Amino acid sequence: MPDDLSQISTNLFAHCIEVLFHNNQIETFSPGEGWVEESVTGLFCRAEDEVAAAALDELGRRGSAAREWFRTHGPPWAQPLPTSYAACRELEGVGGRMGLLGIYVRALYGSVYDYTKHALPYDFFCGVMALRGTAYLLRRDPDLQREFPPKRIPGLVSETEQWALYHSAAREAEKAADRDLQAKLREMFE
């Protein structure tokens, strides 16, 4: 039961962060005066927005915990774990080891720093090398193939596959909600 509760809590927190982004309570940049930057994640919220500030504080705490965990479990060449939005952006499209690190950091960032959801870094890198959706230059780099031999990891999918799965599940949820609404309307008018 505690694992289930922990998972529910993590999922709810991730949803909370998404909602705050959607409502423009959290930003990846400072839109102007009155916005405060959270130091670990590099994200911004309005100074008076206590809910967004509390969420960013928790996200920063999780980012710091992930960095500590990575210090022990991550490769020496990747230290310290980048945790800010800006650092994640800098690694996008970079080749070599740092490109693999960028994919790992983006995945970790996307899971609101829940490092328990991810394979160990070496295994994750090998899994990314096996994904068809991984950039060709990374996947076909002979040095990376030697260091991180491609190996499928159950549950690891490319960003494109993840996007498709998310949107198909969302569409199915919309259809189910529409069916429920139609049934309720029929009941009301019968």
pLDDT tens column, 29-71: 888 899 999 999 999 999 999 999 999 999 999 999 999 999 9
Predicted pLDDT of residue 48: 95
Q: Is 166 part of a structural domain of the chain?
A: no
If pLDDT is split at 50, 70 and 90, which confidence band does 117 have? confident
Can you give the pTM of this predicted structure? 0.76
Rg value, the chain, Cα = 20
Note the pLDDT tens digit of each residue in 122-157: 999 999 999 888 888 888 999 999 999 999 887 765
Task: Judge whether 55 and 43 are in contact, CB under 8 Å.
Answer: no
Q: Is 110 part of a structural domain of the chain?
A: yes
Q: Is 47 part of a structural domain of the chain?
A: yes
Average pLDDT over residues 82-107: 89
Q: Give the position of tokens 């199915």.
A: 172
Q: Give the position of tokens 């020496």.
A: 76
Domain tally, the chain: 1
Cis peptide, bond prior to residue 80, ω within 30 of zero: yes
Q: Is 185 part of a structural domain of the chain?
A: no
Q: Is 139 part of a structural domain of the chain?
A: yes
Q: Is 178 part of a structural domain of the chain?
A: no
Q: Is 150 part of a structural domain of the chain?
A: yes
Where do the DSSP E strands lie in the chain?
26-27, 35-37, 44-46
Report strand pairing: 26-27 vs 44-46.
antiparallel
Predicted pLDDT of residue 158: 55
3-state secondary structure of 185: helix
Q: Is 165 part of a structural domain of the chain?
A: no
Helices (H) and strands (E) in the chain, counts: 8, 3
3-state secondary structure of 46: strand
